[in-house]
Amino acid sequence: MRQIAIYGEGGIGKSTIASNLSAALNEMGYTVMQVGCDPKRDSTRNLAGGRLIPAVLETYRDQLRVGKDEYAISLDSIVFKSPGGIYCVEAGGPEPGIGCAGRGVLTALQILKDLKAFETYKIDVAIYDVLGDVVCGGFAMPIREGFAKEIYLVCSGGFMSIYAANNIARAVQRLSRRAEAGTGLAGIICNSNGDETLEHSVIPEFARRLGSEFVQFVPRTPVIQACEFEGRAVVEHSPNSKEAGIFRDLAKQIMENKKTVVPTPINDLTELEQMYRQHLNKK
């Protein structure tokens, strides 16, 4: 099973990338499970027809309240098959004000593993959509515990999104040395904020500095926004659009790319700022 994690700044569009990637992989014939690792539990909304599915941690807490444990949870109460055939899971989060969100995500992933969800549904590709603007130990858990192996960073041409991606790369650098062999950075995906000239110039260089590859440019277009609004993936809602082709291409590239690296992030903020400024000045 391939285990692919999508990390990036909050609000950058990780769920858009993850859900459209899942749908394109499903169309290619892979059996896909998408796991949303964000307390907001809206990662799989585009696959579930715009609705929010129940979360693993909520179900777990309900079981604990009646004196049962995780093994009393049935897989079909936490794994939802989308109309298109994608298995969708939302980890959920802790009760407000109590506990650690990252630990909660890990508990949810462990429950899936213990209940043998991946074997039961014969999953070929698991996509983890991980909240990652806080590069705390909590949200690094999926990497540390061997769930997230091939890590893709999503950023736009906004400086703060590149700054966040660089910070996540620092966490990946630290963790991939200790994690299972093969765990590392697999590439950078641009989810455009509309400033395409800057993005086509700065993001490939940023990827190079990390020792990685710039994998795909996803434009900001009305088609993608309309599909989001309808709660549908692009390849399902607008299969003949240019945008559907972009997500199919992303899926193909990711399946063909088996290379991961220990990234070489920029440790000095001034250096990161200088790199960014040079590209801004070129515009």
- CA dist 218 and 94 (Å) reads 33
Answer for which of 100, 223, 255, 280 binds ligand SF4 (CB under 6 A) is 100
Contact (Cβ atoms closer than 8 angstroms) between residue 243 and residue 221: yes
Report if residue 137 touches ligand SF4, rule: CB under 6 A.
Answer: yes
Minimum CB separation from ligand SF4 for residue 42, in Å? 17
Report if residue 138 touches ligand SF4, rule: CB under 6 A.
Answer: yes
- CA dist 241 and 105 (Å) reads 35
- CA dist 186 and 46 (Å) reads 24
Report if residue 95 touches ligand SF4, rule: CB under 6 A.
Answer: no
Minimum CB separation from ligand SF4 for residue 91, in Å? 12
Amino acid identity, position 123: I
Report if residue 142 touches ligand SF4, rule: CB under 6 A.
Answer: no
Answer for which of 52, 134, 223, 275 binds ligand SF4 (CB under 6 A) is 134
CB of 49 or CB of 137, closer to ligand SF4: 137
Residue among 170, 172, 183 at smallest CA distance from 272: 170
Residue nearest to ligand SF4 (CB): 138
Answer for which of 55, 101, 108, 127 binds ligand SF4 (CB under 6 A) is 101
Answer for which of 1, 136, 160, 269 binds ligand SF4 (CB under 6 A) is 136
Minimum CB separation from ligand SF4 for residue 144, in Å? 12
- With CB under 6 A as the rule, give the number of residues binding ligand SF4: 8
Site for ligand SF4 in 212-251 (CB under 6 A): none
Helix (H) or strand (E) holding 113: helix 101-114
CA 129 to chain centre: 3
Answer for which of 13, 92, 93, 102 binds ligand SF4 (CB under 6 A) is 102
- CA dist 221 and 217 (Å) reads 12
Tokens encoding 271: 């250096």
Answer for which of 60, 128, 139, 276 binds ligand SF4 (CB under 6 A) is 139
Residue among 196, 193, 144, 198 at smallest CA distance from 172: 144
Residue among 244, 220, 218, 249 at smallest CA distance from 232: 244
CB of 1 or CB of 136, closer to ligand SF4: 136
Contacts of 78 (CB under 8 A, 6+ apart): 54, 55, 56, 59, 89, 111, 112, 117
CB of 139 or CB of 247, closer to ligand SF4: 139
Binding piece for ligand SF4, criterion CB under 6 A, among 13-21, 28-36, 116-124, 137-145: 137-145
Minimum CB separation from ligand SF4 for residue 101, in Å? 4
DSSP string, 68-110: --GGGS-GGGT-EE-TTS-EEEE---PPTTSS-HHHHHHHHHH
Minimum CB separation from ligand SF4 for residue 99, in Å? 7
Report if residue 10 touches ligand SF4, rule: CB under 6 A.
Answer: no
Binding residues vs ligand SF4 (CB under 6 A) = 100-102, 134, 136-139
